[in-house]
A and B are shown apart, each in its own frame.
Chain A
Amino acid sequence: KVLSIQTKSKKTLARPNVKNIVLVEGVRTPFLLSGTTYSDLMPHDLARAALQGLLHRTAIPKDVVDYIIYGTVIQEVKTSNVAREAALGAGFSDKIPSHTVTMACISSNQAMTSAVGLIAAGQCDAVVAGGVEFMSDVPIRHSRKMRKTMLSLNKAKTLGQRLSLLGSIRLAHLSPELPAVAEFSTSETMGHSADRLAAAFGVSRVEQDEFALRSHSLAKKAQDAGLLQDVISFKVPGRDIVSQDNGIRPSSMEQMAKLKPAFIKPHGTVTAANSSFLTDGASAVLIMSEEKALAMGYKPKAYLRDFVYVSQDPKDQLLLGPTYGTPKVLERAGLTMSDIDVFEFHEAFAGQIMANLKAMDSDWFAQTYMGRKSKVGTPPMDKFNLWGGSLSLGHPFGATGCRLVTTVAHRLQKEGGQYGLVAACAAGGQVSDTHVQHSLVVPAMIAFCTYAKHLYEL
């Protein structure tokens, strides 16, 4: 059998004395608007579904996996190590250690790069990484005052003490504490920050709406064409089988123009329609050393070559990670923007994507803030998020990273490219009534994928 797809011949990025690490498979549950079909589940149920989907697709023996890592942002307190609970529930061997990581919206990127690190260090040969987010239910706490009273109540010895503690409860004690809507360090919500960012770069409302419309249209096309192969079907207990994302809704510019700004009123430009929405979903990938994968007879989808994390000022440059990270990872690999065949950028907000594109296109910005001689350069739009993005497919914070990497692999396969690049800023979703806790530092993650399929299809 000859190469099914013609690939451009470019140099390999393999480095001497560094193990080749490959993406064997990647799957995800359908991403659903929170409060819809998944609403009665728990986070580990979703993660379990993704894991079972991965098992099913790869048919990997359950005891071959050395380690399992999951990323999540809003933690369900009952399953704080959601990786472990999901793995056990998915039928993995109870001898496989698992841990959970959190790094805002790039939590599953962190899960994947941790896996890469474990394999590169020779600790493991096969690691499952994934991410899950469940926004249909978030932990809402009693107020600090109430918690304090309740904890004291535990220690109270006599009935008198207990009664006096109970008597001290006032109405103020009863007001609940929602998960912080705002960035801890700046008290600013993600949407507010995105709106300011868009304004700083002079991104208009129309530009944002157009980009959002593009995302929805491309996603719809990809969905209809059956390109979203990473989506697995999931029989939701007590409900139907879900097999499609339900947030893809191409609208019209006129419809979108009618919406009022969601964060900065009355003159803001970020609306519900040009932001990613609150999403439930989980993803999982199988990452292996090339050696092991080949030995087991797998045909890996891609090499995972390199990655970079960067962080900036959490107030004014919160969502500019891709601008800072992209040139770094390219330089590490000795590539330029034009070498890249497939770009997958996380779309937290249309305004944020447009701002990044403008920043990458500005010499002044590169010189003033990045210490570069000239601009980074922008990814060509005909290679950019062609199957939709977080704006349309949805953005379960902890799960998006794996979707991006898997999508790059699938697009390289389909489009015949060799190099793909993933960039994501750690951003929350649409936060109009969200209960999102964001991380303190704001890193962006760049994973680097090289299409590798041609090697194994012979």
Chain B
Amino acid sequence: MNHHNVCHYFPPVLINAQPVETEYVLFLFFLKAMQPGTHVNYEVKGDVAVVRINDPNSKVNTLSIQMQKELTDVMNEVWSNNAVQSAVLISTKPGCFIAGADINMIEGCKTAEEVTQLSQEGQNIFEKIEKSPKPIVAAINGSCLGAGLEFVIACQYRIATKSKKTVLGTPEVMLGLLPGAGGTQRLPKMVGLPSAFDMMLTGRNIRADKAKKMGLVHQLVDTLGPGLKSPEERTIEYLEEIAIECARGIVNKKIPLSKEKGMMQKLQDYIMSFEMVRNQIYKTVHGKVMKQSKGLYPAPLKIIECVKAGIEQGPIPGYLAESQNFGQLAKTTESHALIGLYHGQVTCKKNRFGAPQKEVKTLAILGAGLMGAGIAQVTVDKGVHTILKDTTVSGLARGEQQVFKGFNDKTKKRNITSFERDSILSNLTGQLDYSGFEKADMVIEAVFEDINIKHKVLKEIEAVIPPHCIFASNTSALPIKEIAAASKRPDKVIGMHYFSPVDKMQLLEIITTEQTSKDTTASAVAVGLKQGKVIIVVGDGPGFYTTRCLAPMLAEAVRVLQEGVDPKKLDALTTGFGFPVGAATLADEVGLDVAAHVAEDLGKAFGSRFGGGNVEVLKTMVDMGFKGRKSGKGCYVYQPGLKVRDVNPDIEEILEKYKMTPNPAVSSDSDVQYRLVSRFVNEAVLCLQEGILSSPVEGDIGAVFGLGFPPCLGGPFRFVDAFGADKLVEKMRRYEEVYGNQFTPCQLLLDHANDSSKKFHK
């Protein structure tokens, strides 16, 4: 069992950088020659115009310039056609209504004013839709996000399918933006202030059933199974049929547009009519945002500002605030960083090694600990037969329970039915022996981090698995080359470094040695993608990429503690810089024993550069039983059920024993922050220099999704680009004078410092 790895979640406001589904916006969209009617067409059925959208050049529909233009043309025709009484707006693209605006369109703008202009054009189009004399029914199947959502809430009526792919949301905040086409103005009116804030500030996807409850859609339509056409095709057709009936119903006044308000709704409206109440809401939301974002993310604050402007001052100032803030936000470094992460994530969700020769249908996992069971959990629901093997009945039982709990929680949240849970779990086999391993296509070991144990396991496994089977090690620091040394077929040995908790952390770091075959890598990436992971593929070496970046930062954190900064302060400094989890808490989550182990190993491998804090501090803590959260005590004391935690009083003594005197020249709050961050960043750049990393994009994605590097900075490489390598080097030189080679900038960083035209990202 290896408890290592980082455990943290992005706080809700900052889930930034995880646009969840690739469907959200884009894929490079090159503006094609303007052909009329390639994206939008319409057909008049009786007295209803059915406007159908489908971008032929992309898997998803986006509100690109072409789409906007065609929509405007078609709507003008609809409005001028006397035979038409009403309209239905529908997408014929399976799984996607409109996934958002075209990001490249925004990125293509040179100035904030240009972006504001774009926003105003969007506002104008949707205003016309809102004021349409002929009712427009939006018939939604598939993702309806961002500008897509802003579009439908301008329509008079909304019908959505109950498909799992049908989600509504305003994910702009995750890209450091705000809903810039009327969303901040219409949404609060439609769903009320609290829900509107929740949607816009978290950017989360809302399923159709929830949307109905919130009042975001009026009516739901079931998805259909096999019939005389494919289910998807017939479902869209069915949705259209119902939407047409609905449009006629609205015209005939059989379907009222304003719903009779319920008692609760009336009460809520009454309460909301008090300015004092509203102000209290703004204040609370603002406070929450500040607490979670530490003020590092401008978008959430601007969203609050726009909503407030619209409600308190009226539509004209409201819409103006929205378009202006949208323009400004689009030009912030935070938005660039988050959009960069978005693009990076899309890149890291592709298999650049091609399709593997053989698909993994049976995956065996060794060790049913936190990691092993976590890997099983993300595998078993992907139609892969999963074997979970442990050496003891109690270990296996705990692991199987962890997997069960993962799916049972989903059942409780009604994401899946109990039947689906059961049939998913039928793919899981828990066992103590190697039976069935002869059918395994891949084995992932998650046993204790000890090279001798790994070798023993590898030999045992190779005796029972078929020749094509891949052996992957979920180690966090042991070089794969050393593990592969015991293998009869090192070309089939690879590292798959998962992060804890596996079901929550998106990153998978795949480590290849010089001997690992391309097909082995392709297969590992394919498995990781199936498991829903964002993947970086890095070269072999002690600590690979992620652990190697984290180790010097934690070494520095220990030194900071030794210098008398208490864990709470240390946490505040790191979270204040944008890390979702403070350094002391992070160490507790990783496990102090693991941290000590890694620090010692990497210290041996890299020498004094990895020094800083005294390893003995960690070791003494471990000896006293303070292994972090898992043992109940670490830097903090953890009590079950208690959220507040106090600093572990017993560590004072240890820190006193290893006390170091801080040098005031490098010990300001800001200096402490940069000492921590610069070591992280320098090591990352060194990894690129040494070829451990193959690109800065992977470096940024690995740091943000695996280690919680501040998303608002976009990752270490984007941070260097934005902050300035020269400025960073200047700081490091100052620290180097005091502490020595731990702060010596690497050559690549120096190159960038010496030539300001050099950037990691274009």
Q: Which residues in A have some Cβ–Cβ distance to B below 8 Å?
A: 184-187, 192, 195-197, 199-202, 264, 266-267, 313, 315-317, 355, 358-359, 362, 364-365, 368-369
Q: Is A200 within 8 A of B245, CB to CB?
A: no
- Once the chains are docked, how many angstroms separate the CA of A201 from the CA of B228? 6
* Docked-complex contact B227 and A200, CB < 8 angstroms: yes
How far is B224's CA from A313's CA once the two chains are assembled, in angstroms?
A: 13
Whether the Cβ atoms of B228 and A358 lie closer than 8 Å is yes
A199 touches B231 (CB 8 A): no
User: In the complex, which residue of chain B has the Cβ closest to the Cβ of A203?
Assistant: B227
The interface residues of chain A lying within 8 Å CB-to-CB of B234 are 199-200, 202
Q: Any chain A CB within 8 A of the CB of B105? A: no
| A315 and B225 within 8 A (CB) | yes
Q: In the complex, are the beta carbons of A199 and B419 less than 8 A apart?
A: no
Chain B neighbourhood of A355, CB < 8 A:
227
Q: How far is the CA of A37 from the CA of B234 in the complex (A)?
A: 45
Select one of A266, A317, A362, A364 contacting B225, CB under 8 A.
A317
15 example contacts (A-B, Cβ-Cβ < 8 A) are as follows A184-B419, A185-B417, A196-B223, A199-B227, A200-B225, A200-B226, A200-B238, A201-B227, A202-B228, A267-B245, A359-B227, A362-B228, A365-B227, A365-B228, A368-B226
Expressed in whole angstroms, the minimum distance between the Cβ of B223 and any Cβ of chain A is: 8
- Are A313 and B417 closer than 8 Å at their CB atoms? no
B646 is an interface residue with CB less than 8 A from chain A: no
Contacts of A186 in B (CB 8 A): 417, 419
| Residues of B228-250 contacting chain A, CB below 8 A | 228-231, 234, 238, 242, 245-246
Task: Collect the chain B residues with CB atoms within 8 Å of residue A365's CB.
Answer: 226-228
Known: A267-B221, A267-B246. 7 other contacts (CB 8 A): A185-B419, A200-B227, A266-B219, A359-B227, A359-B228, A365-B226, A365-B227
Question: With A200-B226, A202-B227 in contact, is A267–B242 under 8 Å at CB?
Answer: yes
Whether the Cβ atoms of A316 and B225 lie closer than 8 Å is yes
Assess A196 versus B224: contact at CB under 8 Å? Given A267-B242, A267-B245, A316-B231.
yes
- With a cutoff of 8 Å between Cβ atoms, the chain A residues found around residue B219 in the complex are 266-267
Q: Is B222 in contact with chain A by the CB < 8 A criterion? A: yes
A10 to B222, CA, bound (A): 47
| CA of A184 to CA of B242, assembled, Å | 29
A192 to B242, CA, bound (A): 16
User: Which B residues are in CB contact (< 8 Å) with A197?
Assistant: 225, 227
Question: Which single member of B230, B238, B417 contacts A199 (CB below 8 Å)?
Answer: B238
Contact of B228 among A187, A195, A266, A364 (CB under 8 A): A364
CB-CB nearest in chain B for A365: B228
CB-CB < 8 A to A313: which residues of B?
225
Q: Are B226 and A199 in contact (CB under 8 A)?
A: no
Contacts of A200 in B (CB 8 A): 224-228, 231, 234, 238
A338 CA to B224 CA in the complex, in Å? 32
A365 CA to B228 CA, complexed, in Å: 6
Cα–Cα, bound, A313→B420 (Å): 13
CB distance from A311 to the nearest CB of B (A): 15
Report chain A residues within 8 Å CB of B221.
267
Whole-angstrom distance between the Cβ of B231 and the nearest chain A Cβ:
7
Q: Nearest 5 CB-CB pairs, A to B?
A: A316-B225, A200-B227, A185-B419, A200-B224, A201-B227
Chain B hits for A369, CB < 8 A: 226
Q: Which residues of B contact A (CB under 8 A)?
A: 219, 221-231, 234, 238, 242, 245-246, 417, 419
What residue of chain A has the Cβ atom nearest to residue B222's Cβ? A196
**Chain B residues within 8 Å of A267, by CB:** 219, 221, 242, 245-246
Residue contact B417 to A316, C-beta cutoff 8 Å: no
How far is B245's CA from A187's CA once the two chains are assembled, in angstroms? 28
A60 to B460, CA, bound (A): 71
Instruction: List residues of chain B with CB within 8 A of the CB of A199.
Output: 222, 224, 227, 234, 238
B residues within 8 A CB of A202?
Answer: 227-228, 234
Closest beta carbon of chain A to B202's beta carbon, Å: 28
Contacts of B229 in A (CB 8 A): 364
Q: What's the minimum C-beta distance from A446 to chain B, rounded to whole angstroms?
A: 20
Which of B223, B231, B245 has the most chain A CB within a 10 Å cutoff? B223
In the complex, the answer to whether B228 meets A317 with C-beta atoms within 8 Å is no
Chain B residues within an 8 Å CB radius of A264: 222
The closest CB in chain B to the CB of A197 belongs to B225
Smallest Cβ distance from A191 to chain B, in angstroms?
A: 12
A386 to chain B: closest CB distance in Å?
Answer: 27
Docked complex Cα distance between A355 and B234 (Å): 14
Task: Report how far A206 CA is from B97 CA in the complex, Å.
Answer: 32
Q: How far is the CB of A312 from chain B (nearest CB, A)?
A: 9
For A183, the closest partner residue in chain B by CB is: B419
CB distance from A377 to the nearest CB of B (A): 16
Q: How far is the CB of B247 from chain A (nearest CB, A)?
A: 13
B419: which A residues are within 8 A, CB to CB? 184-186
Which of chain B's residues have a CB closer than 8 A to the CB of A195? Answer: 222
B223 contact set on A, CB distance < 8 A: 196
In the complex, what residues of B have CB within 8 A of residue A192's CB? 222
**Partner pick for A317 among B222, B226, B230, B246, CB 8 A cutoff:** B226
- Known: A186-B419, A199-B238, A267-B242. Is A316-B228 also a contact (CB below 8 A)? no
| Nearest CB on A from B237, distance (A) | 8
- Measured CA separation A364–B227 after assembly (Å): 9
For the complex formed, measure the closest distance between the CB of A314 and the CB atoms of chain B, giving whole angstroms.
9
| Chain A: minimal CB distance from B588 (Å) | 38
Which residues from chain B contact A185 at a C-beta distance below 8 Å? 417, 419
Query: In whole angstroms, what is the CA distance A451 to B223 when docked?
Result: 44
Expressed in whole angstroms, the Cα–Cα distance for A201 and B227 within the complex equals 5
Bound Cα distance A362, B229 (Å): 10
B422 (CB) vs chain A CBs: closest residue: A185
Cα–Cα, bound, A142→B246 (Å): 43
- Output the least CB separation between B358 and chain A (Å): 26
**Nearest CB of chain B from residue A198's CB, rounded to whole Å:** 9
State the CA gap A369–B226 with chains docked (Å): 8
Report the bound CA distance from A135 to B417 in whole Å.
28
Q: Which residues of A contact B227 (CB under 8 A)?
A: 197, 199-202, 355, 358-359, 365
Residues of A within 8 A of B231 (CB): 200, 316
Provide the bound-state CA to CA distance between A202 and B231, in Å.
12
Most buried by A among B221, B225, B227: B227
A355 to B225 CA separation, bound complex (whole angstroms)? 12
Please report the C-alpha to C-alpha distance between residue A315 and residue B224 in the assembled complex, in whole angstroms.
Answer: 10
* Cβ distance B431 to chain A, nearest Cβ, rounded Å: 27
For B228, list chain A residues within 8 Å (CB): 200-202, 358-359, 362, 364-365
Who on chain A is nearest to B225 by CB?
Answer: A316
A188 CB to nearest chain B CB (Å): 9
Q: How far is the CA of A264 from the CA of B222 in the complex (A)?
A: 9
Residues of B within 8 A of A317 (CB): 225-226
Docked Cα-Cα span, A355 to B246, in Å, equals 25
In angstroms, how far is the closest chain A Cβ from the Cβ of B228? 5
Q: Which residues of A contact B226 (CB under 8 A)?
A: 200, 316-317, 365, 368-369
Q: Report how far A317 CA is from B226 CA in the complex, Å.
A: 7
Q: How far is the CA of A368 from the CA of B229 in the complex (A)?
A: 10
Residues of A within 8 A of B222 (CB): 192, 195-196, 199, 264
Min distance, Cβ A193 to any Cβ of chain B, angstroms: 9
Tell me, in angstroms, the Cα distance from A187 to B234 when the chains sit together.
23
The CA of A192 and the CA of B223, in the complex, are separated in Å by 12
Bound form: Cα–Cα A198–B242 in Å? 14
Which residues from B are CB-within-8-Å of A315?
A: 225
